[in-house]
């Protein structure tokens, strides 16, 4: 496989998804003020973002409503309170986790919902369950993606099997998800080639969702893009679990399609993200504990605990993680 496009032109197939409420919600338990969400919706429209993800559609029987902000559950009603009928070119997505979403009950037909895209997130062993959800959402009229998480823990033969199974489904796109921020650009280019070679002949696109543990979220996103990925996830000021995600402002400064515009992104960050960025209680972004979990290809939960506790005893933290006893 080879490069698609170059740095001077643009590929019209490339689209950007803002995951700030969803991945950023993992940082603040989804407590975003309505004014913030409305301003984000406007910033996304002004900057040319293609999809805005409003959160998870989590099962209220499984998660207690009073322990989370409403975007953990991202109901059609709550989304509508922000977007009305969303008579715009900005599409709306939600994430539905396998095993954490009562999709038969909680996902209405698209004709009754402001949502356009249902992103089904799963681990590799949950692919059959994900396919059932994809088929349900497709039958209800939605666009769908399958977001196979923690790809760095997936064996190549399982991955190929999963991608081949997905070619037999109505799914529109499949994501490379580097949950642990462990991938190097060289690996992302290879993975993108593999995903594209299986999915594109069946008319399905590839997406990329990166984490910044090794300061590679942006690099991995644009290299995946250069090799064919066409749905790119970003978050404002990188807000997302742990080390955060590919930064929307970097993405908007990079993409050449004239429909994209950096200025509204800067405007939103200045007014609405800076208070978060300056708050000692809402922490995300590259830090040495995230480098260590990324380097070790581990879930970032230990690093999140370390940065929340403002630990700087990096050597002890490292020793805890490599302890084999």
Binding site residues, a copy of itself, CB under 8 A: 3, 7, 184-187, 212, 214-220, 222-223, 226, 247, 249-250, 253-254, 262-263, 266-267, 269-270, 274, 286, 288, 291-292, 295, 312-315, 318
Q: How deeply is 322 buried, as exposed, middle or buried, from its count of CB atoms within 10 A (0-12, 13-18, 19+)?
A: exposed
CA 193 to CA 227: how far, in whole Å?
A: 6
Return the ∠ at Cα 218 (arms to 214 and 222), rounded to 5°: 130
Q: How far is the CB of 200 from a copy of itself (least distance, A)?
A: 21
Residue 291 · residue 213 · CB < 8 Å: yes
Output the six-digit token pair for 210.
């990166």
Query: Which residue in the block uniquely carries the two structure tokens 């200025």?
Result: 263
- The nearer residue to a copy of itself, 96 or 239, going by C-beta atoms, is 239
Q: How far is the CB of 188 from a copy of itself (least distance, A)?
A: 10
Q: How far is the CB of 2 from a copy of itself (least distance, A)?
A: 12
- The nearer residue to a copy of itself, 161 or 253, going by C-beta atoms, is 253
Output the six-digit token pair for 287.
């830090």
CA 213 to CA 287: how far, in whole Å?
A: 7
Q: How far is the CB of 117 from a copy of itself (least distance, A)?
A: 27
Output the six-digit token pair for 56.
């998870």
- The nearer residue to a copy of itself, 88 or 187, going by C-beta atoms, is 187
The DSSP call for residue 237 is: G
Q: How far is the CB of 184 from a copy of itself (least distance, A)?
A: 6
- The nearer residue to a copy of itself, 159 or 269, going by C-beta atoms, is 269
- The nearer residue to a copy of itself, 66 or 270, going by C-beta atoms, is 270
């Amino acid at each position: 496989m080879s490069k698609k496009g170059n740095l001077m032109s643009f590929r019209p197939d490339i689209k950007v998804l803002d995951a700030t409420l969803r991945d950023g919600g993992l940082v603040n338990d989804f407590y975003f003020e309505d004014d913030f969400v409305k301003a984000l919706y406007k910033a996304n429209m002004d900057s040319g973002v293609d999809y805005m993800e409003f959160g998870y559609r989590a099962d209220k029987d499984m998660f207690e409503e009073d322990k989370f902000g409403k975007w953990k559950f991202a109901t059609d009603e709550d989304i509508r309170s922000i977007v009305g009928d969303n008579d715009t070119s900005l599409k709306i997505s939600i994430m539905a986790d396998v095993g954490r979403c009562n999709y038969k009950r909680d996902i209405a037909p698209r004709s009754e919902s402001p949502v356009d895209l249902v992103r089904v997130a799963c681990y590799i062993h949950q692919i059959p369950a994900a396919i059932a959800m994809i088929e349900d959402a497709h039958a209800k009229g939605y666009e769908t993606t399958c977001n196979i998480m923690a790809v760095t823990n997936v064996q190549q033969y399982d991955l190929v099997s999963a991608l081949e199974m997905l070619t037999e489904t109505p799914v529109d796109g499949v994501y490379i998800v580097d949950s642990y921020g462990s991938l190097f650009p060289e690996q992302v280019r290879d993975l993108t080639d593999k995903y594209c070679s299986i999915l594109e002949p069946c008319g399905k696109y590839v997406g990329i969702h990166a984490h910044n543990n090794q300061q590679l979220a942006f690099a991995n996103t644009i290299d995946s893009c250069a090799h064919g990925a066409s749905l790119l996830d970003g978050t404002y000021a990188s807000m997302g679990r742990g080390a955060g995600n590919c930064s929307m402002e970097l993405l908007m400064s990079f993409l050449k399609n004239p429909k994209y515009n950096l200025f509204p992104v800067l405007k939103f960050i200045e007014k609405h993200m800076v208070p978060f960025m300056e708050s000692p209680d809402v922490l995300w972004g590259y830090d040495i504990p995230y480098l260590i979990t990324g380097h070790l290809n581990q879930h970032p939960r230990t690093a999140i605990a370390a940065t929340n506790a403002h630990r700087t005893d990096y050597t002890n933290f490292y020793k805890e993680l490599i302890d084999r006893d």
